[in-house]
Structures are given as structure tokens and as C-alpha cells.
Structure 1
Amino acid sequence: MRRILTCRAWGGISAWQQEVLQVQAMAKQTAERNGKLESVGDIFIQSLKTMKIGKEFKQHLVVYQWQTLVGKDIAAHARAVKLEFKKLFIRTTHPAWAEQLKYMEYDIKQKINSHFGEELVQELIFTGQPGWYISQENTLYKEDESRHLGKQLKKIQLSDEELAAIRESCSSIEDEEMRSAAMRLGCNVRRMLRYRQKSYWHPCASEGCGSICPPAEEYCYSCKRRMKEKKAEKIQQLLLDMPWAKYGEVLQEVSCSQQEFQSQRLILLQRLASRVDYGDVESIEAKTLVMLYRSLPPEQLSDEVVKKTMSRLRRDVRYVPKQKAGGREAPSKGAGK
């Protein structure tokens, strides 16, 4: 509870973080009163799920609980900035720390996902994006949103219908104090939605989406991501159907930049190379890989071209050691040196 009061006294903390701390404190009190073998974290996450906004707030909690998740030593030199589309953006005090954390990526992801009971983070992205500031209280805010967002939200009055809907979403929380804190949290979420609408945010152009997006954007972040993924899939499918196709030919079928084309071509090259065994010059995968790498149509594909190209790509393909007559693996070249 002392931590809540400390955070409230500091003017920069956002409203949703205040409410998250309160719900967390209520969860601790409930666990102590019930005397059950349930952790505070379990009760806290269950409460958020009950409110039907658990997924969104888990993403916020990854950022807010960063120090708890990774420890004080790492948190002193690296801060979680935001979590979008299962990519956790991290800013470090020095590039050397970014390099160090890359070696720890698997452990960090596993710890976060295990803590929240689902796969929230698939990739760590290290960024030096300007305009983001991280306070000593581990609070993140955007410069153009200022530190007065909480005051603006308090001015927004919710309708009786909105309050009734929030009350209904929290009705299954048995503990009275926790239910009250959860309702305040839900009210702030609704006020934020109203604030964005007042700031000329508008409905996403995707049919049936229901999200809102900033004034300068036509689609919300989720829809833009899905559209980008669909475009990538279409480019890759075209290259699988016509491995020799160049940018101009693909552009006739898919509206994409040259950078998008080259990026998907490289991804497909890596994927095909991982499926081709060392020394393979006969399989469909090997010949498709050669056509894609050299941008050659089938009529220009000769045995000599395939062998030379596969020799050049020998360090990129999958290596499968040959078996000796006795069934033991033959050692790879250079083994034992």
C-alpha cells in the first residue's frame, strides 16, 4: 500500500498504472484473507480476465513489471518500452547491453511467458526510438501526450449505460474491495476510449473490426499487421509458383515496395535452404532454391548450373552426415581439430 501512495504522489504516473497497483494490492489482501495456496499474481491475472480485458492489460503489465521479471541488474540498463504483436521493444543505456541481452533472449521470453501463463512475447526488438522517456519510477510516457493525461481523463464523465456495462463486467469478482478497484480500472479504460474519440480518433476502415485508430491512420495497428502478413504470404506464394520472378513481375500481382519484395524473397530463400540436404542436386526443393537464388526460369536450369549454385550455397543448406556401414555417423570435416 505504501508503494501505491508513493506512486500517486509522483505526478508522472499514468492513471491506468495507479489502478493496476490498486488491483494488485487488493489481490494480495484477498490472498491473505482466504489463506489459500494461490499466489497474488494468479488472483490478479484472474481478476483481469474476469473483466474481459486481461489480454490487453497483461501486455501493459509486461512493461510495468519489467524489473520484477528480469531483475534489478538488467532493469538498471534496459527498459521495456512497449509490447505490440508479440514483439517486446526494449531500450538500453548502451548498445553493448543490447548485444548482451540478445544472448539471453530465449530465457527472457520463457520467463515472461511462464509468468503470465501464455505466449505474450515471441521476439525482442532493441530500439533507440527518439521521443520516448523512461522515468526513475519505471514509468513510460510519450512527449506529445505530456504528463497531464490523468487530469484530462478525470474530466470525462461516463454515461449511466457505460457505468452499468462496467459494473456488469466486474460483477463476478467476489471481493468487494477488489471489485471496486477493478471498476475504477474499467472506468479509466472507457475514459481513455472517449478521450481518443474526442482527439479525432476514428473507427478502423476494416469491416467488422470495431477498433479505433489515430487521425493520421486509416486502419488500426492490428488490421495493418494482418494486412502486412497477408501481403507477405501472397508474395511468397507467387515466388514459390514462379521462383524466377523479378520485382516487376510480382508488382503486377501484388502492390508492394521493392524492399518488401526483397525481404520476402530472402525469407523464402532461407526457408528453402533449411529443407535441402547437403549435396542434394536432384530434388524439387533444390531446383526451386536455385531458380529463386539465380532468378532463372526452368528452361535455363541445367545440371551444371544446379551443381555450381548448390556448391555456392553449401554453407546455407541443411547438413546431414552420411552413415557408415556399421550404422555410426561419419565425423564431419574438421572434427577433432
Structure 2
Amino acid sequence: MFRIKEVLSGTIKSLGITKQYNAQSVIVHWPEIVGEDISSHAWPISTQRGILLLAVNNSVWSHHLLSLKPEIINKINTFLNEKLIVDIRFQAGDLRKYQNHQEGEEFDSLLYPAKLGSEELADVWKATEAIKDPNLRKKCYYVLIKQTGMNKAKQNQGWQPCKRCSVLVPPRQRYCTVCSRDQQREKKEAIKKLLVEAPWFTYQEVNQFIPCSPRDFHNVKKRLIHKYIHALFESGWDKLNDAVLVMLMTGVKPDKINQAMVDTVIGKIKVRLAEKVRRKNNVLASRR
């Protein structure tokens, strides 16, 4: 078996679209490049003509990152093995717009149950009246007191019901953890479907139909490219998929693509795959 990553990088280089691909890689691999400390306060928005635009969540970190600019540029270019970035500019912004943010995962560890009044305690006791065993009822009563007190404390701090279910979530969050993950999965499926139908779409074009972060878009697109390359030699491969794969990789629009271009790109991919398989077989044969 071969690694698509190795085959893909060689094919992209031969097609002359390395810079576009690496620009996307900066966004996808940002935490890996700069570390969690920086990525929790700054996130890449775009790269154009060697300039990286970063969203930073406050002015203190903007000043701090300004002093680290040469170091960050060096880390990026070392990771990409190419001098892609020559400068960095900073922009104040909400990182959740650009990160693959999971809403509902923030939790205030200092939140304690609020004290319940006599009427509230009576309501909790009444809610357990269906439990006939006295000891079990008492245990359930104390559990419900804690749960009710926590809900009261959350409401006092402005927590609101999840937009999809009734679970309380912190202020400025719309969904609980479970619903947020479901929504994220649905969003990625929608992006994938749109890219299959319009594989030449840029992030800006996709974002008009499906609000998403650049990281969401680039991750989905990258996985979709890998999926199509894996399927190249499978039975039932539709020749139309050749054009879809080429448009995904190059961003060429339907009115600009032609059969010669498709044959060239697909041919280079197959050559890379064949070379990889041959090298793998030679290594296995030498070990016998």
C-alpha cells in the first residue's frame, strides 16, 4: 500500500500548484506549526502574495506576536519546506469564526449549585413521590437538589437552553457539546456535497452557501481529494470523476477545463501511484 500524502505532494509539485496547496496547509496544520499556546490566541485567515493574515483575539497578543514574527515565519516555512511566507499582518477578530470550534465545550469549573428556597425544595421532593422505597427516594432527592441547584446557578449566570435541545449552555454559545458536534458533522457533509457538485469553488464561494471556517473547508476538500485518488483504480470509477478530481486539485472552472488537461493531471497522478507501488514492491522483494 502507498501513502496518498506522498503521491499527492509530488503530483501537486509537477502541476505547479504547490504554493496554493501549501497556503491551505498553513491553515489546516496551524496548531502543529506554532503550538497550542499561540493557536489558542491567533488563527490564520488567508495567505496572499507571501503575506499571512492572522486573526488575534486581543491587543496584548497582537503585540506579543509582533515580536515573535520572524520566529513564526521561520516555523511556517520550515514546516512547508518552502519560503512561502515573508510577512505577517494581524487583525482583531473572534477566532471561532476561523477555527474548527466546538461550541458547548467550554465549562466553568468554578460553577457551584445555587441554594434552593423552601418552595423549590418542596417541588424537588414532590418530583420524587413516585419512588416508593424511602432510602432510594431520599438518595434521588439529594441528587435532584444538586442538579436543580446547578441549573439555577447557570441561569443566574445567563446560561440559555441549547438551540436544538433543552440543555443549558454558557452565554454566547448556541449549542451543547452533543448538538454542536452533530451540527459540525452536518456542516462538513454539506461542504462535501457542495464541492462534489461544484469542485472548483473557493472557500469564499462555499462560505456564501454554507457558513464555515477556512479550516473546515480545507479539511473537507483535502479529504475529498484523497478519497477520489484512492478510488482511481477501483471498479465502477466514472470518467466524470476525473474532471471532478482535476477541478478539486487545481480550482479550474468547467468552462476552462478540457480533456487534455484532465488526461495530463490524471496521468501524473497514476504515474506517481505506480512509482510508489513499484518502490514498495522492490523493498519487499529485497527483504525476502
Q: Please, what TM-score do these two structures have when normalized by structure 1?
A: 0.42
Q: Larger relative contact order (C-alpha < 8 A, sep ≥ 6)?
A: 2
Q: Please, what TM-score do these two structures have when normalized by structure 2?
A: 0.48
